[in-house]
Every structure is written in C-alpha cells, then in structure tokens.
Amino acid sequence: MSDVRSEPALYPDGASSATRPSPASEPPSPPARESEPAHLRHPSIPPAPSLRETIGEACGLALASCVLASIPAALRVSRAGGSFVGGLVAAAAVVLPLVAIGISLSRAAGRGFRMVTGLRAGRSTAAVIALWIGLMAPVLLVLGAVLKDKTNHRGLGGTTFGVLALGVAIGSAAVAYRIVQTGRWLVDRGMSARGIAVGLAVLAIGPTLLVSFPLLRGHDDSPHAAIVAAALIDGVLFAVAAAVAVTYDIGDRARELARRYGVAAAGALLVLGALWLSLSAPLGAALRSGGGLAAAMVGGLERWTDRDGDGHGAHFGGRDCDEGDPRIHPGAVDLPGDGVDQDCDGTDGPAAAASARAAEPAGNAADPASGEATTTPAPTAAPVLTPGNHPSIVLVTLDTVRADHTSAYGYPDKTTPRLEQLAQKGTLFESAYAPASDTQRALLPLFSATSYRDTAKSNRQWPTLRDEANTLAERLRGAGYKTGFVSSFQWLSEERGFNQGFDHFTEVHRDEHPERGVTGPLAVRAARAIVEKEQASGAPLFLWVHLFDAHEEYRRHDGFSFGRGDKGAYDSEIGFVDKQLGDLYDAIEASPLKGNVVFIVHGSQGEGFGEHDVKGHGRELYEEMVRVPLVISLPGASSAQRVTGRAVSTLDIVPTVLELAGVSGESIGVSLVSAAGGAPLSRPPVVLRNGKRGAIIDYPLKLVVIDREKRDRVLLFDLANDPKEQHDISSDRADDVKRLRALLDADRSGDKASKKSAEKTD
C-alpha cells in the first residue's frame, strides 16, 4: 500500500515531491489504511453529515427561502386587510414542507451529479439553471401581459407568445450561462466568491420579485387572472429561491447553525403559522383573497377538513364549529335560545333578520306571500305612449356597477345623483339581476335578442357573434329605426360581429384603452355625434351607449371622493360614470328628440369586494355580483315609481325595447313596459347561471346550487330578511329547496339540449 504523500504533485517551483527533499524536522507520515474513512485519508474531503444534520440543513435553507419568497404573498394579504407579518408567517409556513422536501431531494441529486461531472461543473450548472429561470420568468410574464393588452385575437396572441417565448428561453439561457462564466472568471482573479454568489442570487430573484408588485393593484377583466398570475410568480420565486439555496455554499458557520437548529426553527414556524391561521379568521380570508400558492394550499387544506359537506372546514382558517352537522357552520341561521351556536360566532343569539328588516329602506317593502310585485303609485299623469307612436330609445349600459353602491338604491354616499334624477321621472326596479356575473353572458343576449345558449356564436371564451344571428339592432332597423352603438370595450367590436344591424358603430376603445385610460367622455361625445347626424332624419333613433369606466382598474376622479381603498376608488368611478350619464341625458334633452324618448339605464353586472371571500366578478352569483341598477323613464313621466317584491332580469330589456318599437316576435325575458307605466308586474322566477353555478330567484327566496362531483352544495337565502346572504336556510325550508331546484334543473335541461343542438350544427 503506497503512501499518498509519495504520489507526484507539482509544487509552485516545478519540483515534485519525489525529488524535493523533506525538511529534517518534518516527521514521516504514517501509512494510510484503506479501511480509514475518506476524510481521514484525504483531509481536504469533509466528513459526510449525518441524516439529522442533513435534514436540519435542508429545513434551515427552506426556512430562509420561504420567508424571502413569501414577501409578495404577505403584501397581498396586507392589501386585503390582513396583517403583513401574519401573511408572511402563514404563507411561509404553508409552503415550507414542500420546499424543504424539494431542497433535500435537490441536494441529494446535486451531490450525485457532481460525483459524475466534478464539484465545479455541478455548482456552475445549478447556478446557470437557477439564473435562467429567474431571468426568463419575469420576461415571459411581461410578454404575456403585453400581448394580452395589445391583441384581441386569442389565437394570434397565443401563437405570437409561443414563438417569442422560445426565443426568450434560448436568450435567457445564453445570458445566464455567460453571467455565471463571468462570475467564475472574477472569482479566479481574486474577487470574493461569496459576493459573486450574492450578486447572482439577486439577479435570479430580483426581477421576478419586482414583477410581482403590480399585482398588488388588483386584477383585470378576467376574474381569476390575478390569482393565476400570483400563483405563477409565487411558484417561480419559491423555485428560484430553493435553487439558489441548493447551489451556493452558505458558509461553515451558517451551515453549522442550520444543522443544529434548522428542524426546530422550521417546526416553530409551522406551529406559529397554524396557530395564527386557526385563531385569526381575517388572516385566512385575506390570504385566500390574495391568491397564490399559499392561498391555494390553505383553501385545499380547509376543504380537506370539511367532513360534513357544508362548504366550511374546521382548520387552516376554517371556522366550522361542528364538522359532524352540516346545519352548523358560519353563515347558518342561529336559532335563539336553543343552546346551539348554529352560525359558529361563539354565542347562541338571535338571527339578524329583525335588524335587516329594520334597516330596509322605506317604500321597499313587499308581501312575499302575495307573489305579486308592488309598484308605488304615481300621483301624476301616466307616461305618454300612444299606439303607433314609436319613441326614440336610449339604452345606457353601466359596466360593472352594482346596485347597492348607487345612491339611487339607498347607498349613503351620493354616488349617482343623475341616476336618481332619472328615477324621479321613471321607474326603478328594486330587484334587478344580470343573468350572470361574467360580461359575456350578461351582454351577449342583449345584442342577439336570444338567450346566451341559443345565440349563434363561436365557441371561444370571448365569442364572436355570427352573421346568422337576428340581432336586436337588426330587428329595430327593420322596423324603421335608425340605430347607433358606442362601444368602450375591445370585445364589443366590429371584428367580433357586434356591429350587425347598427347604422353607426363607434369604438372609442380604439382611441383610449378602457382599462388604462378614461373612455366615458369619449363615449358621450360619440353618442352626441350620432344624435346630431340623425336628428333631422325624422326616423326614431335607437342609441345604445356602453360606459366602461367603473370597471377595474379603479381610478379616483377629481370631485368624486368617497373614501380610501378599492371601494373608495370604485365609488369614485361610479360617480364619474354617473356624471357621463348626466351629460348624455342633457345632450338628448337639448336635441329634437326631447319629449319623445325612452331612457333605459342598467348595470351589466356587479363587483365583489370580499363580501363572500371573493373579489371582482365572473364566477359567483352572490348579490354583490349580480344585482344591478335598472331604471326606465318613459316619455311624459314626471314622478318616481319603485317596483319591489318581484325579481326582474336585464334580459327583460330586450322585449321591453321591442314592444316600445312595435316589433313583434319571440324574444327572451318579459316586457317591462306595463310595469314602467304603473301596472302590476307578474314574472316567472329569474334564473342566473355561471358555469357550474346556478341560481334562481323567486323573490324573496334565492336558491344557489354549486355543482360538485360527489354532492352539490345547495344554499337558500331569504333576501327580504337577509339581503347580504349571510344565513343559509336550506335545511329549514326543504320544500322550497325542492321546488326551486326543480325549476333550476328544468332550465339546465333546456341548456344541455340547446348545446347538443348547437354542436350538431357546428
């Protein structure tokens, strides 16, 4: 067995150990035994860590990675009304186990990789991969956002993204490789390896972290776009942070601390995060509202603890106080004096029905038992609508305006004084609903004059209206009307077929981006131009104006200050849109159309602000997202009427317009002309549908059904006593649930039959 010191090794002067004499004072080295550990035979090789030390080091690295990568999630929690520190702790704790496992596996794989390629090559390769992901991800996110903003054609946008993304991936890989090679070159020339490592880590994580900050402003017209983007960014941050932790040598001191205390520190974070989520319901709600990986995992864990199928879990932020009884959960009706806390608020107290009834606006009462709507009497002369006299019709769509944020519907802030003035000369429908909370299902039927399922359209997410559709405008033009439309949104475009039947079709969104700028004044100016062109024609005019500004992104407008936060900005937008409505009304009243014009103003759909742990619109069917303003003012009306006690739909606008124009034929909905003239209203229950969510409103009862694979979730609300839908009474009103469910299922059956028929024609 040879001595390792006798193997040839060049000294700096070129002499070898075989020819260079040893100092006299240097004792001979004892022969090495093959049975000795490698680190004793080769002192330059450190001893392999024990399993406990390996786990501790992985936990320590995972802890640092998770805290850093959870900063965007914590900022989103803070914006949603929660605690920044709580959000940081909870988000890091939820993801920590996965990251720790990932780091352990990555380090094991890295050691095996370096045994093949060598230590230097292995670390360099890992550094290139980490930097490549960190550079590529934010560029792709920005590229996707730009293409989404600039292209209306989804196929073209997707193809463009695919081609450019390939170039970005290749370019990012080349740049990452060159940066790492430069770092190695600098280290070889004496620069601090630790400083270079820190610089590379900043380059890997920094751009993605910066890209995440714009998400704090909210989300766009796609209801879950921000949630998806947040999850993608969180995933990239966690992946890059873990890759950086695996790649770089953290130093002997830090490694020793991690091996000793990593497991204890990670365990403490897990316990603290779990306790914070369990004891703070607002933190759990804010975390889920902000979206991202942690939010998805918390929501999944809570649903995993929902053993009784009532939609509420008992852990991970859930507040179900009895997982054995589906009648007991947050939001259930609490029966006073029975010794049971049905709504899980900690006390056995009375339901909120009495206080809700006391808070109901005067003149808004209805007799649910009568089944009839109540119309407040008009003390003055009835509107002037004579046979053969077809008035001009001005239809105004207020995009994303919910009824309960308008002062016309009792909102304490004066957000809509001009809508109030119009209601003083017309009829306000207290319980008006959009057919869905997404823009497509809310607006497309108004154009096509048929239901969404029966409309001749493409199968795209934002469908194109086909030529064979017999649109509302075409039917009116066939009856002798001049027709005009002013669009403020990219989807409502000539390219998508929405110009069918319109003599004038103006797209103001081509001059000002609706989600980044202000389009209301442009829309009013375009509408006035149409009135000026047609006022001398002698034909009645159908003018439809779409006002988009209340849609997110919310902006604050001078002179419309209604508080802080998103709600304050949203109310400012509503006030600004109301001013545009007033300007349009004044222009019509100053034109020759005055005296023989019908005004119809409605909201497209509402907007949620976390009332049911959901923001925006497009999926849920709660009141804040589907109850909208609807006001109809007929010629000659000079006093206010209010229709209560019966739900109506914005789909009823179509038959109302057709009746006013004297156009016969089938259409959706029920005409509201008689009700606007003071007659009692009789209407079937209103059906709403969004994908797997369906609702039916037979005022005051509202049934919501959420389709699930195992068992559907069914909710029943009494809107007269519970307008905010906080108390599910389905377990106490089984007969009503059965009756309304049958009506909703019948509508769904018609939907499926119609869909199959459409597929055959395609």
CB distance 576 to 583 below 8 Å: no
- How far apart (Å, rounded) are the C-alpha atoms in residues 416 and 356? 24
Cα 220-609-322 angle, rounded to 5 deg: 125
3-state secondary structure at position 612:
coil
Which pairing describes strands 374-375 and 641-644: parallel, antiparallel, or unpaired? antiparallel
HEC assignment per residue over 646-661:
CCEEHHHHHHHHHHHH
Please say if the pLDDT value at position 475 is more than 70.
yes
* CB-facing half-sphere around the CA of 12: CA atoms within 13 A: 0
pLDDT digits (tens, 9 = 90+) for 35-61: 555 444 455 555 666 777 778 787 888
DSSP letters along 356-415, please? HHHTSPTT----GGG---EEPPPSSPPP---TT---EEEEEEETT--GGGSGGGT-SS-S
Tell me the pLDDT band of 1, cut-offs 50, 70 and 90: very low
- How far apart (Å, rounded) are the C-alpha atoms in residues 429 and 565? 29
- How far apart (Å, rounded) are the C-alpha atoms in residues 356 and 428? 21
- How far apart (Å, rounded) are the C-alpha atoms in residues 575 and 561? 9
> What mean pLDDT comes out for the span 587-600?
93
pLDDT digits (tens, 9 = 90+) for 135-179: 777 777 677 767 665 655 555 566 677 778 788 888 888 888 888
Domains and CATH numbers, the chain: 51-295 (no CATH), 305-346 (no CATH), 685-762 (3.30.1120.10)
> What mean pLDDT comes out for the span 269-278?
84
Please say if the pLDDT value at position 728 is more than 50.
yes
Quote the pLDDT of residue 469. 93
DSSP letters along 73-123, please? HHHHHHHTTS-HHHHHHHHHHHHHHHHHHHHHHHHHHHHHHHHHH-HHHHH
CB distance 654 to 616 below 8 Å: no
Please say if the pLDDT value at position 761 is more than 60.
no
Average pLDDT over the chain, rounded to an integer = 77
Where is pLDDT greater, at 419 or 565?
419
Tell me the pLDDT band of 92, cut-offs 50, 70 and 90: confident
- How far apart (Å, rounded) are the C-alpha atoms in residues 418 and 407? 10
Tell me the pLDDT band of 222, cut-offs 50, 70 and 90: very low
- How far apart (Å, rounded) are the C-alpha atoms in residues 101 and 401? 47
Residue 46 DSSP label: P
3-state secondary structure at position 297:
helix
